[in-house]
Amino acid sequence: MRAESASTLVLWFGASALTLSRAEIGETTSLARWRARLCALTGIAPDLQYLCWVSWCSDLEPPLRVGPEMRADGGLPVEEALPALVALAEARAELLGPARGSSHSSLLLLRRDESSAKSLAFMMRVLQQWQQARCLDERAVEQVRASGVVPVARLEQAAEDHLSSIVRSELRDEAASGDAAEISGAFPITEICLTAAVVVEALRWFKREHFQWVHRPACERCGEEAVRLVGLDAPTELEAVHAAGRVEVYECSPSERGCGQLLRFPRYNDAVYLLTQGRRGRCGEWAQAFALALRVCSVPRVRLVFDFEDHIWTEFWSESSEMWIHADPCEEVLHEPHLYSRGWGKALSWVIAVEVGRDACYLEDRSRVYIPSEGWPSMKQRQERVAGDISVATGLLRLLSALSGGEFHEATHATVVEPPEASASGSERQTSLRPRQSGALEWIASRGENGPAPTNP
């Protein structure tokens, strides 16, 4: 995937990469003639080829750079008289600028149409989510652990107590059935997953005690809650310190109870700040902070999962089941992947998981896990509306992962096996697929997340 060598370059087309040698490119061939060569390789006519550089550099923010279209009739510094390799090298140098970090690049070839434009936008949105996830590194974990804001010992003790109660219950059941003679000592605690039990306790603590859902912020001056959204604003220098992507601006009701003041509600993307100080927000803030809380509780692998219909949650890896387990802090729900489709009534398209706490971009398409199999045919239609050609969009996810040194996977079937550690949450585990619980009722209804539409008898 490296394109630094003058003797080769990598061309990404569809879902795979082609490594082209200098002989295949031609030392003095113009870019226009080289496009004819690309046509022979890919079947895309020269006048329909959208050619651009995609580069990943570790010391850039964001790390991924997608260059503008390269044309032989002007635009970027690509001239007919220049050898193709020299022109391509100049275009890549301009894209990366003075970056010093390690870089990986590929020349991307797409068909110039509306579908490809959607696919590029799709890849950039996935990158935005990964940028949230990459902030959850070991340094962030240690910073929060030192603050003491997460009651780790309390959560772990509660999890162990709950597991012990399950063991005692099983021993009593076996004794009552006449199998007590076969039991020698206590049931091995290692056979029940402590990690899942800790996640259950963390879900309860996070939602009930620690984090606050914000529909509209209350006025800090007069306490009035009747505020209305008046627009968006760029973050101030102070708000940008905690990675505020945008700021919602509200107006306090200028009534007898209100004061008419303008209120700012920054949408922060700093998980450490959100978990230790901010402690409020909507699903994006909840997922980031909760994922970091799980890492502080020594849950070894956690990742963010988001759908393109505007919700985000977490998953943790179960060693005993060898599978990723769904955990939504907003709903205090464990292992209910069909909650959104069947409970909320959402028509999901793409569901993408982004690995937490690594420098590389580790992605997995989880759409078939969170969408029931009967919804897969219509899912494909929605995916095309969002990201254009599905094979091209999937190829771009592979490209993003490969350039960063990560991996991309596709989950090809739904999670139908009940993980053995699900019993760790006992009778309080959320089993009913209910409409959305987090947020104001009118807001939930406006998003179509108040349950599936009634069917005619």
Q: What positions carry a catalytic annotation?
A: 283, 311, 328
Strand-pair partners of 364 = 353, 409
Distance of CA 176 to CAs 6, 164, 363, 421, 427, Å?
76, 18, 48, 24, 21
Q: Which residues of 317-347 are buried (b: 16+ CB within 10 A; e: fewer)?
A: bbeebeebbbbbbbbbbbbbbbbbbbbbbbe
CB-based contact 230:250 (threshold 8 Å): yes
As a whole number of angstroms, the distance between CA 318 and CA 76 comes to: 49
CA angle 377, 379, 382 (to 5 degrees): 125
The C-alpha atoms of residue 198 and residue 158 are separated, in whole angstroms, by 8
Is the distance from CB of 409 to CB of 149 less than 8 angstroms?
A: no
Count the residues in the chain.
457
Residue whose pair of structure tokens reads 């988001």 in the numeric block: 306
**Cβ(245)–Cβ(269) under 8 Å?**
yes
What angle is formed at CA 412 by the lines to CA 411 and CA 416, rounded to 5 degrees?
A: 85
What amino acid is encoded at 233 in this protein? Answer: D
- Peptide bond between residue 63 and the one before it cis (omega within 30 degrees of 0): no
> Is 18 within 8 Å of 10 (Cβ atoms)?
yes
